[in-house]
Amino acid sequence: MSAVVAVAVPADLRALFFAGSLWSELASLGELRVVADDDGGSLGSAAGLAALAGPADVLVTSWPCAAVTGDVLDAAPSLRLVAHTGASVKPYVSAELFARGVRVTQAGAAMGRAVGEQAFALTLALLHRVHRFDLALRTGVPWADAKASAPPRHELLGCPVGVVGASRTGRAYIELVRALGGIVTVADPYLSSEEAAELGVTVADLDTVLRTSRVLALHAPVLPETRRMIGARELALLPDEALLVNTARAALIDGDALLAELRTGRIDAAIDVYDEQPLPVDHALRSLPNVLLTPHEAGGTVEARVRGGRIVVDEIARFLAGEPLQHEVTEDQLARLG
């Protein structure tokens, strides 16, 4: 009897994650159960997820899903594996899932390059004040005034870049920054001296990184020790005309303190993640000339989505064949995920 694979991924995301032959590869692994094309919203409730997962051996999840709670597990007694298409499975699983022997895997590795590239692109845009020039020209500022509208610009060559968190995305970002001659210092208590040497970076405490960086890029997970780790005191340590890039998590920064600092005009920032999402249309960040905004899409490249689908399909195939998983998340590892 073939395995039952419940795919709790709405139709629009299924088309991205399982493009081309990936969907047929997934179908070859077992009997697929999916929601109707117009019913993806039902996955956001425990009842809707339970209805889909009921007879499943494997459950594929994505970010619109409800968490796999005890109620869902009660409805799906045969469930043995949860395979998450996104960057972090943490919001979607519980201790009870591990207690019942259900294994977990995720496709977070797929998005490292995409997020690293966007952080890199935002870094270059900020260094060259592209956002300031663009706003000036689009809002009718005279040519000469537009040319004078930005603070001094800098190249990445020789630029001191601070990175908070040598995560997958952080390492992808570091590789790109160093390729163009940036000088990288990292704040990460888990980064060994051997790893730092391999990455070609210097390790320092957070305060030192803040004081010495023209660009500060955040790539840390949200943990008890990193939540709101950047507050008013830390922002004040940044040099004048410093640049902040956050493609990681909004919870790493005190949002009120950041807004207050940005309103002074002393620093510029590029932000992809927000405490409130969607970002309200009247939010103060939208009106600041020294801020470049994107709508939490750093990991959303075509290639990253397909890599995510590839990881999920391959992990399910390994699981069903009794082979070791390559992207498994244990209960202990879950505690360190952002």
DSSP 269: E
The pLDDT of residue 40 is above 80: no
Number of structural domains (the chain) is 2
Q: Closest Cα to residue 122, out of 284, 301, 268, 251?
A: 268
Are 62 and 136 part of one and the same domain? no
Q: Where are the beta strands (DSSP E) in 225-307?
A: 243-246, 268-271, 291-293
Are 239 and 328 part of one and the same domain? no
pTM: 0.93
Strands 243-246 and 3-8: what pairing?
Answer: unpaired
Q: Kindly report the backbone phi and psi dihedral angles of residue 203, in degrees, each rounded to the nearest multiple of 5, phi listed first.
A: -105, 135
Are 25 and 138 part of one and the same domain? no
Are 176 and 313 part of one and the same domain? no
Are 198 and 143 part of one and the same domain? yes
pLDDT digits (tens, 9 = 90+) for 197-222: 999 999 999 999 999 999 999 999 99
Are 255 and 151 part of one and the same domain? yes
Are 74 and 153 part of one and the same domain? no
Confidence band, pLDDT 50/70/90 cuts, at residue 63: confident
Go through 82-105 and write b for each residue having 16 or more CB atoms within 10 A of its CB, e for each that does not. Answer: bbbbbbbbbebbbeebbeeebbbb
Query: Domain with 18 in it: what CATH number?
Result: 3.40.50.720
Are 13 and 160 part of one and the same domain? no
Confidence band, pLDDT 50/70/90 cuts, at residue 338: low
pLDDT digits (tens, 9 = 90+) for 104-161: 999 999 999 999 999 999 999 999 999 999 999 999 999 999 999 999 999 999 999 9
Are 317 and 250 part of one and the same domain? no
Segments forming the whole domain that contains residue 41: 4-106+301-335
pLDDT digits (tens, 9 = 90+) for 249-281: 999 999 999 999 999 999 999 999 999 999 999
Are 323 and 184 part of one and the same domain? no
Structure tokens, 222: 């949200």
Assess contact for 93 and 65: CB atoms under 8 A. no
Are 173 and 189 part of one and the same domain? yes
Are 160 and 76 part of one and the same domain? no
